[in-house]
Structure 1
Amino acid sequence: MSSTGIGQYTAYAFAKYGVRQLALCDIKPEALEQTSNELKKNFPDVEILSIQMDTSKEDEVNSAVDQTVKKFSRLDIAVNNAGISGGGPTDQLEFEDWRRVLSINLDGVWLCQRAQIRQMLKQEPLDPLPRGNRGVIVNVSSMLGLVASAPATPAPAYTASKHGVMGLTKTDATMYASRGIRINACCPGYVATPLLKDATVCVPAERR
């Protein structure tokens, strides 16, 4: 779970509606500190574990899950929300920029989901199967995981990464449902987050 934007307010919602143990992961330590302090102020009974993590780094992802389980004994709900923008039409996009978006938005979700699934498979269901579950995973995709970006705001790398998240979610949801792990995705539209503010790209009219 990220500590800014949608991830930040997801953490607030979890605390508001009864979750008492939260592990917050973000690449930015200052964002982690800000969200953690806000949670402690408004929900003093919530235990918080802050973990600085780059979702594109396998060892950091695995370590984050290990730290969470060491602190809280198990992992019941995971929200994979970290992501970056990647604007610009394909003919103007450098390969390194394409790969950076895919490494965080798609590879990062896969790395997190793999680590989460491996942990959840070790856990006893909270309630007896088939109605009980070993864990729940929610991947934050985007409306651009379902449709193309507009010609006025081209985002081929971002759109491809979010379509990939949807394919990964559907495949693993089918694969692990019978083993007590529920996996879903949500596809928000435009939300006024730091990511969106940094991502606005306009194409001149003559290029549309």
Structure 2
Amino acid sequence: MPARLQHKVALITGSGSGIGLESTLLFASEGAHVLATDINLQAAESAAALVSQRYPDVKVKAIKVDVGKEADIKAAVDVAVKEFGRLDIMFNNAGIMHPEDDNALNTEEKIWDLTMQINLKGVWWGCKYAILAMRENKKDESKGLKQGGSIINTASFVAILGAATPQLAYTASKGAVLAMTRELAMVHAREGIRVNSICPGPLKTPLLMEFLNTPEKKERRMVHLPMGRFGEAIEIARGALFLASDDSTYVTGTDFMVDGGLTAAYVTPVGDQVVDPPKSLV
């Protein structure tokens, strides 16, 4: 079976951990050349080193990127095009969930502004410069490369349902990502540029576990999960792979839910049985 991202070039933000790390490794395993970016350069370099070790046939480069700075994102897209010749996939994955993010009464303006700077403006800038680069992509039938490209924006299930524990700035930022994604998808559809959001459910990642820092907070989330468990970052990466690949050529403007059934549930099943994650994920 041919690799699904063979010869394609992907830029992934937040490559140093969680969804970003798993996506960096997964995309490379499917043949993509990857620009791994993270605000923590050492983490991005570690991700790139793993790619080089496991998949020596693909090209990889790591750079530091603060997605809260427009100049950093523009520079990253420029590096991807310069190093690899084009940009086919932009995964705007990096984001924050600030521990002081709370409800409308308690969230300070500085926390709101910081969250919007990274989670919303950062995605906007990522889309902006990716679109400009993807417009320059040439079709290459010998390598299976198309014009345009695929942009994937990480949103969240809370943009659909609202959060069980107060995190107003985060929830608002992710809702805005969904709206922005839909509009960009419509505006650029006939350029061959697809734009989709991926909406993870609660995951067993450092970002969420640092926020759910008490047994009460964890249980508040767990009661809404039909499978009785948090998701794994690799499960989101596999959803992103679908959106990045030609398996989804007729998919744009969608809110792709990868949430273990959370948004479909009115109540969760009764009983103590829990569906464990597949052994391949743990």
| TM-score scaled by length of structure 1 | 0.89
- SS of 2:116's equivalent in the other structure is helix
Q: List structure 1 segments (4+ residues) > 4 angstroms apart after TM superposition.
A: none
* One of 168, 174, 179 as aligned partner of 1:156: 168
For 2:176 and 2:62, the matched residues in 1 are separated by 28
Match of 2:34 among 22, 27, 31: 22
Stretch of structure 1 that moved more, 29-38 or 172-181: 29-38
Aligned with 1:116: secondary structure? helix
Q: Could you say what the CA RMSD is over the residues aligned between the two structures, in angstroms?
A: 1.9
Aligned letter for 2:23?
A: T
Counterpart check, 1:88 vs 2:107? no
Shift, 1:125, TM fit: 3.9
Q: How far does the alpha carbon of each residue in 1:85-119 deviate from its partner, in whole angstroms, 9 at most, with x for none?
A: 03312211110000000100000000111000011
Query: Structure 1 residues 124 and 188 mapped into 2: Cα distance closer, same or farther (>3 Å)?
Result: same
Q: For residues 17 and 75 of structure 1, what CA distance do their matches in structure 2 show?
A: 16
Provide the rounded CA distance (Å) in 1 between the counterparts of 2:30 and 2:57.
Answer: 13
Q: Which of the numbers 53, 61, 68 marks the counterpart of 1:49? A: 61
**What code does the residue aligned with 2:86 have?**
R
Q: Distance in 1 between matches of 2:147 and 2:156?
A: 26
State how far apart, in whole Å, the 1-side matches of 2:85 and 2:103 are. Answer: 46
1:48 counterpart letter in structure 2 = V
Correspondence for 2:132 = 118
Counterpart CA distance in 2 for 1:189 and 1:133 is: 32
Secondary structure of the residue that 1:161 maps to in structure 2?
helix
Q: Report how far residue 201 of structure 1 moved.
A: 6.2
Does residue 100 of structure 1 match 2:104?
no
Unaligned stretches of 5+ residues in structure 1: none
Q: What is aligned with 2:7?
A: none
**Aligned with residue 197 of structure 1, among 186, 190, 209:** 209
Give the residue type in structure 2 aligned to 1:142: S
Q: Structure 2: any 5+ residue segments left out of the alignment? A: 1-11, 218-282
Instruction: Return 50-59 or 31-40, whichever deviates more.
Output: 31-40
Residue 178 of structure 1 is matched in structure 2 by: 190
Is 2:178 the partner of 1:140?
no
1:75 and 2:75 aligned: no
Partners in 1 of 2:161 and 2:49 — Cα distance? Answer: 37
C-alpha contact 1:126 1:134 (8 A) present in aligned 2: no
Per-residue deviation, residues 22-66 of structure 1 (Å, max 9, x unmatched): 101110012112211211221122211111011111111111100
How far apart, CA to CA, are the structure 1 residues paired with 2:55 and 2:198? 26
TM-score normalised per structure 2: 0.67
Asked whether the equivalents of residues 135 and 180 of structure 1 are also in contact (C-alpha less than 8 Å), the reply is yes
Work out whether residues 95 and 118 of structure 2, in 8 Å CA contact, stay in contact via their aligned partners in 1.
Answer: yes
Which of 11, 19, 22 in structure 2 is aligned with 1:6? 19
Give the direction of change, closer, same or farther, for the CA distance of 1:38–1:154 in structure 2 (3 Å limit). same
Range 33-42 or range 186-195, more displaced: 33-42
